[in-house]
Chains A and B, each alone.
Chain A
Amino acid sequence: MSPFALEPLGDSALLIRLGDGIDTATNRSALALAEMLRAAALPGICDIAPAYASVCVHYDIAAFANATGAGSPHQLAAQRVGEIAARFLEAKVTATDALIAEMSMLEIPVCYGGEFGPDLGDVATHAGVDQRAVIHSHTNGDYRVAMLGFMPGFPYLLGLDESLHTPRRASPRTRVPAGSVAIGGAQTGIYPRELPGGWQLIGRTPLVLFDPERGQPALLQPGQRVRFRAIDASEFAAFTQ
């Protein structure tokens, strides 16, 4: 097991880096480490967020201020967080397996192509296949939420078939509709609300990705498994009624 890197992210956060690429194994470690840190409930830690290959830990500077003057708040926070990360890496395999086993699968209905996915044709052309083959490939994939970021509830998914990797659009759209399922290079995600964006839009889901009034505001949580199911326009309309 390669050692982790712990670096300051400003004067009130730490970044624990477990790798520098987008791959499933590293991401699983980041998700599991974030879970372990959350369970440790260290006093003075105010937020914990996993990303592709790292975990961001926010802390309260004052909570780690040492009255004796031995060690800066950063050093103290890094020491406490580092101890947990080191323990995690020793016991990593079991912890990760337990976490992965517990994660539920969510099926996301998507209406592909047409006005719902105006770039489906371009993605097909880029892949050298027809649109039906893109839909088939996309709905056959087994995805996992690697992280949320950019906007509340925006999931970055792992598991996109390599044949569907498509460069971003040359000129970004000023308005991408909420629910748009999009591809940007090797990444794929779903727009939680109307936003500007440069990713290729292949379809749209009628599900609401983010609603702050719900008990669980984000539809998708880090680590959650996802599959896509193709629906037609009338089914899409039925969902939104």
Chain B
Amino acid sequence: MSIRVLSPGWLTSIQESGRIGHAAIGVGRAGAMDDVALRLANALVGNAENAAALEITLRGPRLRFDSDALIALTGAVIEARCAAGEIPPWRPVWIQAGSEVDLGGMGRGARSYLAIAGGIDIAQVLGSRSTDINAALGPFSGRGLVAGDELEIRRTADERPSPSWTALGARPTGDRAGHDGIVAAHWSLDPQPWFDARGDQPVALARGSHFENLGAASRRALFGGEFRVGNESNRVGYRLEGSKLRLEAPLELISEGVVPGTMQLPPNGNPIVLMAEAPTTGGYPRIGMVATVDLPRLAQRRPGDHVRFVETSLAEAQTRYLQRERALAALIHTITERLKR
């Protein structure tokens, strides 16, 4: 089966958990900006957590499905409809062959994820199906989708059993005809723990290697002030505008490793938080490090949104990460059991 891209939206790309193990040759991780939303979308359609799905930015694409498909939308709640009606988010939904799915804007948040049962079938590049747009690496030579692209979908039969109609609380024949092209599960996930719907939760930040080199006022502003997500922000980094941050004295630094979450301070005083497509090395002072567990929250802020940072310790950041992973594993297990019924 395949999906045809009729229009790509603002930026839609194929993503999974990222490209790991090639930093020594300058290849970064890439992968989903909100990897929790990606994993839950995959779970809702019975896929492995790291199956390739679509990351939709700000405004969605229009897609034509040539076969029946089980899909799920997570992350930012996005306007989604096909001829048969609205497609509800955060739950499994069957759509009929021939459907044109029209994804529109998002009320809040910046990224939605569309998973399709079976996962997108495209060749791995350096062990991953994630698109690294900045490095021009991955599916479609590292570009976002364009009108006319065809996405092959892996058949579900050779991996996991396709979720049954009864698991969705619907009978295939009757309900399928009755709903004219859509069968949505009668249950859904509560996005609340996984998606910051009001967009006002603080982002945990630990002190970086060069935090102590900031002037006293800048140290206060980093944790006390409010920043605006700059218009130039993208999958490589979030450029933050607020009080200009200054070092007490210039630092002469040589290039060293950087990772997603590293907060750098370039000479213009506006900090940059490196995101999924972070390069592998950088030479700016590293004044902070965003807790990995809060990167999805930051990834859902759009240009113009505000961000406040709350100080965290390394130990606390890791404890929260492990708690989240346990909760997520439990939820994914519950979803998997539910789909088997």
CA distance A56 to B291 in the complex (A): 18
Q: Does A117 contact B (CB under 8 A)?
A: no
Residue of B whose beta carbon sits closest to that of A22: B254
Q: Are A149 and B279 in contact (CB under 8 A)?
A: yes
Interface segment among A44-52, A91-99, A103-111: the answer is: A44-52
Chain B, interface size: which category? 35 or more
- 1/0 contact trace for A131-161 toward B, CB 8 Å? 0000000000000000111111110100000
When A11-B292, A61-B322, A193-B136 are in contact, do A51 and B255 touch as well, CB less than 8 Å?
Answer: yes
CA distance A56 to B256 in the complex (A): 8
Chain B residues 115 to 150 lying within 8 A of chain A, measured CB to CB, are 125-126, 135-137
Chain A residues 58 to 90 lying within 8 A of chain B, measured CB to CB, are 58, 61-62, 65, 72-74
Q: Does B22 contact A (CB under 8 A)?
A: yes
When A65-B322, A74-B318, A153-B26 are in contact, do A217 and B126 touch as well, CB less than 8 Å?
Answer: yes
Q: Does A13 contact B (CB under 8 A)?
A: yes
CA distance A3 to B314 in the complex (A): 23
Q: Are B125 and A149 in contact (CB under 8 A)?
A: no
CA distance A52 to B137 in the complex (A): 25
Q: Are A9 and B318 in contact (CB under 8 A)?
A: no
Chain A residues with CB under 8 Å of B331's CB are none
Q: Are A10 and B261 in contact (CB under 8 A)?
A: yes
Chain A residues with CB under 8 Å of B319's CB are 72
Residue of B whose beta carbon sits closest to that of A71: B315
CA distance A145 to B315 in the complex (A): 36
Q: Are B20 and A47 in contact (CB under 8 A)?
A: yes
Contact of B281 among A10, A21, A150 (CB under 8 A): A150
When A61-B321, A72-B315 are in contact, do A9 and B135 touch as well, CB less than 8 Å?
Answer: no
Q: Are B26 and A11 in contact (CB under 8 A)?
A: no
When A56-B23, A149-B279, A153-B25 are in contact, do A10 and B137 touch as well, CB less than 8 Å?
Answer: no
Q: Are A56 and B257 in contact (CB under 8 A)?
A: yes
Q: Does A182 contact B (CB under 8 A)?
A: no
When A61-B321, A149-B255, A217-B126 are in contact, do A47 and B23 touch as well, CB less than 8 Å?
Answer: yes
Chain A residues with CB under 8 Å of B282's CB are 149
Q: Does A33 contact B (CB under 8 A)?
A: no
Interface centre among A17, A50, A150, A212 (most CB of B within 10 A): A212
Q: A56-B256, A150-B281 are in contact. List 17 more A-B contacts (CB 8 A).
A: A8-B314, A9-B257, A9-B289, A10-B261, A10-B262, A15-B209, A46-B20, A49-B23, A49-B24, A56-B257, A61-B321, A62-B322, A62-B325, A65-B318, A152-B22, A193-B136, A217-B25
Which A residues contact B (CB, under 8 angstroms)? 7-13, 15, 17, 20-22, 34, 46-56, 58, 61-62, 65, 72-74, 147-154, 156, 193, 210, 212, 217-218, 221-222
